[in-house]
Amino acid sequence: MEEKKFTEKESLELISQMIQVTKENLERGSGNVFLVYGYAAVVLSVVVYAAVNLTGRPLWNALWFLMFVPAIVMKILQARKKPSVVTHMDKMIAHTWCIVGSLFGLTVVVMILIGLVIDSCHFGLMLPLCLLYAGIGTSITGLIVRVPALVYSPLVAFVVAVYMLMILTNGGSVAPEWNLYFGFSFLLMMVIPGHLLNKKAAAYAC
């Protein structure tokens, strides 16, 4: 069977169509995904900060593990409801976030295993690492679909993550305020872009 050869113009049109379909799929569904993760992080940041400050017990930082709950719920919902047209770019985005999600889980497992060996487990590293993972995933998603808001929204998260890592590597410790920095980063990185995506989705529906 002879393969159809595309001209340069046809190839560009095909790529443009793929980007447009992927944008529509992203805006119709992922706006809500960004909002779920974003608001969950914002709410948890305030709750954890308040709990640690009121009780003086860092153990309340373990509440951050609740962030895995919306991830599991959204995964189940996405498996049940798939877009009618799935482009190669849709798959690229899905694979990107699959890798990011795996990094979250793998980091926890590695920290626990190393902690058992050295008899010390510092989960404070999860805050900056999670900001880096989520920021990279968001920026890559923005680059794929060419949405500037997604590309640049993680910049604050990167700055906050580097700040936290520098404090930790220079003998400092995790401060309760870091929870608020984390929540603020997710507000800029996911909540605001999520609302922008939903707004565009509403425009497509009209």
Domain boundaries, the chain: 12-205
Lowest mean pLDDT among 10-19, 132-141, 157-166: 10-19
Handedness of CA 48, 50, 53, 56 (dihedral sign): negative
Note the helical H segments in 56-125.
68-80, 88-118
- pLDDT bin (cut points 50, 70, 90) of residue 131 is very high
- pLDDT bin (cut points 50, 70, 90) of residue 204 is low
Judge whether residue 1 has pLDDT over 50.
no
- CA–CA separation, 110 and 27 (whole Å): 35
- CA–CA separation, 27 and 32 (whole Å): 9
What pLDDT, on a 0 to 100 scale, did the predictor assign at position 87?
64
Q: How many CB atoms lie within 10 A of CB 179?
A: 26
Judge whether residue 154 has pLDDT over 90.
yes
Closest CA to 191 of 42, 65, 66: 42
pLDDT digits (tens, 9 = 90+) for 79-104: 666 555 566 666 787 788 888 888 88
Mean pLDDT of 153-174: 92
Whether 84 contacts 134, CB under 8 Å? no
What pLDDT, on a 0 to 100 scale, did the predictor assign at position 49?
95
Highest mean pLDDT: which range of 13-17, 49-53, 66-70: 49-53
How many Cα atoms occupy the beta-carbon half-sphere of 112 within 13 Å?
Answer: 6
- Cβ partners under 8 Å of residue 35, min gap 6: 190, 191, 194, 195, 198
The model's pTM: 0.79
